[in-house]
């Protein structure tokens, strides 16, 4: 196995890598990114200028143990699929320190807002043993962290409930809210346009959007729906557009087109539905919609639900009917809140970027000395 030598003294260990991570990496302080797999929305054009290593758990551990890394971001402890790789890396870094290596500061960004141990079905002795192991690994990673930044209040409460207190661990809550997108000066708002952005899947509420649309159109005949993304239900999207001229579908467009469509829309709808093994943590489409001044229609599944409700967006129960969803969309179209009013509620600095600054603050100070 050929082992790659990374050059950076700061690294990020990710289970999976997606376009949002790549975009953010260009805005953050330089760091090597070590990841196990690429997500469906991985844009290779954004990799230029980044130090990336695609590696399984053992290779990742060896690469980091041989490196000069002094600060490491790992996936949050309640992301169960990432625990084996994180544990192997932390073990290897611990062994390195026993032989005189420098201690590595370990940090994490947490947005998990549900109990992953309770959600998983334990029907066999193997699944029960796996559950016990994952709980122990989650605690091990949690106790090794030096700093953790929570992206939502719900995530903070979830971690306090599921994992033991850690006296040395520094914590902070920085809401996962975006700042206004820099492209907002190119205003092109259509007050009757609704956008669905993301995965064409049941868990994101896509069938519910299609079911609600005829009622929206009945109340507001000038309403238009733009569907953007890709996924298992892409044929449903295309069939709906073929049968209804008020619907347009854009499959897997480049980022510039997504920004253009978001500037164009008045309302972004993402009625996420929980499943036995999944719950919406934040919802990247919600974040992108807010950054472009869109009103949001969503469900209580997102960790931003309370904030969105306080800011007069529409937040529905996860089990809402298509009629209830239609009424919420109609309401936000009727209100027609100006984009500038929505972006005025956002922080000056993107919440995830602010969290990153805080997470690596101690390392930044050490470098400056």
Q: Is the pLDDT of residue 125 over 80?
A: no
Residues 129, 222, single domain; the answer is no
Q: How many domains is the chain built from?
A: 2
Whether 227 is covered by a domain: the verdict is yes
Structure-token match 């066999």, residue found: 124
DSSP string, 245-287: TTEEEEES--HHHHHHHHHH-SEEEE----BTTB--SS-HHHH
Whether 318 is covered by a domain: the verdict is yes
Residues 196, 234, single domain; the answer is yes
Neighbours of 102 (CB within 10 A): 12
CATH of the domain at 160: 3.40.50.11190
Residues 18, 141, single domain; the answer is yes
- H or E segment to which residue 33 belongs: strand 32-38
DSSP string, 99-124: TTPPPPEEEEEE---S-HHHHS---S
Whether 206 is covered by a domain: the verdict is yes
The pLDDT tens digits of the residues spanning 332-362 come to 999 999 999 999 999 999 999 999 999 998 7
Whether 195 is covered by a domain: the verdict is yes
Whether 5 is covered by a domain: the verdict is no
Residues 172, 187, single domain; the answer is no
Q: Is the pLDDT of residue 259 over 80?
A: yes
Whether 144 is covered by a domain: the verdict is yes
Containing structural domain, residue 141: 10-177+349-368
The pLDDT tens digits of the residues spanning 277-334 come to 889 999 999 999 999 999 999 999 999 999 999 999 999 999 999 999 999 999 999 9
Residues 217, 123, single domain; the answer is no
pTM of the model: 0.91
Specify burial of residue 35 (Cβ count, 10 A radius: 0-12, 13-18, 19+).
buried
Answer whether 141's CB lies under 8 Å from 87's CB: yes
Q: Give the pLDDT of residue 123.
A: 65
Residues 26, 158, single domain; the answer is yes
CATH of the domain at 237: 3.40.50.2000
Residues 159, 27, single domain; the answer is yes
The pLDDT tens digits of the residues spanning 34-78 come to 999 998 778 888 999 999 999 999 999 999 999 999 999 999 999
Residues 220, 326, single domain; the answer is yes
Whether 170 is covered by a domain: the verdict is yes
Residues 194, 306, single domain; the answer is yes
Residues 304, 364, single domain; the answer is no
Residues 116, 148, single domain; the answer is yes
- Mean of the per-residue pLDDT values for the chain? 93
């Amino acid at each position: 196995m050929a082992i790659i030598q990374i050059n950076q003294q700061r690294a990020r260990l990710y289970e999976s890598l997606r376009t949002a991570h790549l975009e953010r990496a260009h805005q953050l302080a330089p760091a090597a990114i070590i990841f196990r797999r690429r997500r469906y929305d991985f844009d290779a054009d954004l990799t230029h200028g980044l130090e990336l290593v695609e590696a399984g758990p053992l290779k990742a551990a060896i690469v980091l143990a041989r490196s000069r890394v002094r600060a490491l971001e790992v996936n949050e402890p309640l992301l169960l699929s990432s625990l084996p790789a994180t544990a192997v890396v932390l073990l290897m870094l611990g062994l390195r320190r026993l032989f005189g290596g420098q201690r590595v500061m370990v940090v994490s960004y947490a947005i998990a807002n549900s109990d992953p141990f309770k959600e998983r079905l334990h029907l066999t002795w193997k699944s029960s043993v796996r559950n016990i192991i994952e709980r122990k690994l989650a605690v091990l990673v949690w106790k090794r962290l030096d700093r953790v930044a929570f992206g939502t209040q719900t995530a903070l409460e979830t971690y306090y409930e599921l994992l033991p207190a850690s006296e040395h661990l520094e914590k902070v809550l920085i809401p996962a809210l975006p700042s206004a997108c820099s492209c907002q000066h190119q205003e092109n708002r259509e007050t009757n346009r609704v956008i669905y952005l993301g995965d064409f899947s049941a868990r994101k509420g896509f069938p519910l959007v299609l079911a609600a649309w005829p009622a929206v159109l009945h109340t507001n005949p000038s309403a238009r729906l733009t569907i953007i993304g890709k996924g298992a239900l892409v044929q449903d999207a295309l069939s709906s557009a073929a049968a209804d001229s008020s619907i347009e579908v854009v499959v897997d467009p480049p980022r510039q087109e997504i920004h253009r469509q978001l500037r164009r829309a008045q309302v972004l709808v993402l009625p996420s539905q929980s499943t036995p093994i999944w719950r919406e943590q934040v919802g990247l489409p919600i974040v992108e919609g807010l950054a472009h001044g869109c009103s949001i229609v969503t469900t209580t599944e997102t960790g931003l639900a309370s904030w969105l409700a306080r800011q007069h967006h529409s937040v529905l129960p996860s089990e809402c009917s298509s009629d209830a969803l239609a009424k919420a969309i109609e309401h936000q179209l009727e209100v027609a809140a100006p984009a500038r009013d929505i972006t005025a509620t956002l922080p000056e600095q993107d919440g995830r970027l602010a969290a990153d600054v805080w997470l690596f603050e101690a390392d930044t100070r050490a470098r400056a000395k």
